[in-house]
Amino acid sequence: MDANYLNELSQNLITWGAEFGLKALGAIAIWVIGRKLINLGVSLITRALKKQPIDVTIVTFVGSAVTILLNITLIVALLGFFGVETTSFAALLAAAGFAIGAAWSGLLANFAAGAFLIVLRPFKVGDFIQAGGVIGTVAEVGLFVTTIDTPDNVRTFVGNNKVFGDNISNFSANPYRRVDLTAQLHGGVDHRDAIARLQQRVAQIPNVLKDPAPTLEILEFTPFGPVLAVRPFCNNKDYWQVYFDTNRAIRETFGDAGYPGVEHRLVVRNES
């Protein structure tokens, strides 16, 4: 083999290796510096948003979206630095996105529903809601799932598409709510006396609101006697305390008044 050819080949290899090495070092430097700048930028954005009266869910969502967008931009810049045609990469990325979208349509539906939940805000973190067949306190509204802590302290993850596609009851949206209970009276008891006694007793229960005042009226009639509707109002955080205290007040009020109990008798018919 000709010596000049070998010398030329070795020189070309050295030149190519030097250029590639410099580009590799430059790409590593761009990646490291770019990642640090991205983290710094996202940190500054989230820190600025947290100082504003913005829900923490929106802050998390914006931070994640900005991080993903900047990382994709950094990767495209690195490919362009190595001479890769970015238009071809964009087409490849679009095709990959279409394939992933077809395969993960349910996941993308949850993502879209999560975006609508964050924009429309039917509830926020800390609200007590019923959605997607689950009732409890909202712990987090994520990109794909909503995290709910149930009253028995079980952390439940519900897909955002199921939450958004179903009825949502937000028990924390209004300043107060009504406790709905009933009290069965004996047929021989004067309902006016029973209502007056209960009205006075229920008003003494802690955290029962005076405005609106508790409602006590005859709800319906049964073979055993009239049924009273006992409906005090309270703040959302006091619901269960008022619920149980009102039940106890009904029992104790009727017992102190000496009202006869209601006997539920089972009637057996003899068909013979």
The pLDDT value recorded for residue 270 is: 45
> Among residues 103, 231, 112, 222, which one has the least CA distance to residue 165?
112
Where along the chain do its domains lie?
3-103, 114-170, 176-257
pLDDT, tens only, 27-45: 788 788 888 888 888 888 8
pLDDT confidence band for 272 (50 / 70 / 90): very low
Query: Is the pLDDT at 106 greater than 70, yes or no?
Result: no
User: Which of the listed CATH numbers 1.10.287.1260, 1.10.540.10, 1.20.1270.10, 3.30.465.10 matches domain 3-103?
Assistant: 1.10.287.1260
Token pair for residue 173?
């949206």
pLDDT, tens only, 196-238: 999 999 999 999 999 999 999 999 999 999 999 999 999 988 9
Q: What percent of the chain has pLDDT over 90?
A: 40
Q: Which one-letter amino acid corresponds to residue 10?
A: S
Tell which wins on pLDDT, 16 or 105.
16
Domains 3-103 and 176-257 equal at CATH topology level: no
The pLDDT value recorded for residue 220 is: 93
Q: Which one-letter amino acid corresponds to residue 174?
A: N
Q: What percent of the chain has pLDDT over 70?
A: 75
Domain spanning 114-170: which CATH class is it, in words?
mainly beta
Contact 225, 194 (CB under 8 A): no
The pLDDT value recorded for residue 46 is: 81
Contact 177, 239 (CB under 8 A): yes
- Tell me how far apart the alpha carbons of residues 246 and 206 are, in angstroms, rounded to a whole number: 10
The pLDDT value recorded for residue 271 is: 43
Q: What is the pLDDT averaged over residues 258-264?
A: 73
- Asked whether the bond before 212 is cis by omega within 30 degrees of 0, the reply is yes
Q: What is the pLDDT averaged over residues 14-24?
A: 69
How close are the terminal C-alpha atoms of the chain, in Å?
A: 119
pLDDT, tens only, 144-159: 889 999 999 999 999 9
Domain spanning 176-257: which CATH class is it, in words?
alpha beta
Contact 101, 135 (CB under 8 A): no
> Among residues 249, 250, 212, which one has the least CA distance to residue 233?
212
Cβ neighbors of 61 (< 8 A, separation 6 or more) are 114, 115, 118, 143
Q: Which one-letter amino acid corresponds to residue 227?
A: V
Q: Lowest-pLDDT range, 73-77, 96-100, 185-189, 233-237?
A: 96-100
SS3 148: strand
SS3 173: coil
SS3 126: coil
Q: What is the pLDDT averaged over residues 63-71?
A: 79
Q: In the chain, at which residue ranges do the beta strands (DSSP E only) sit? A: 128-131, 134-141, 145-149, 155-159, 169-170, 176-178, 181-184, 215-222, 225-231, 233-235
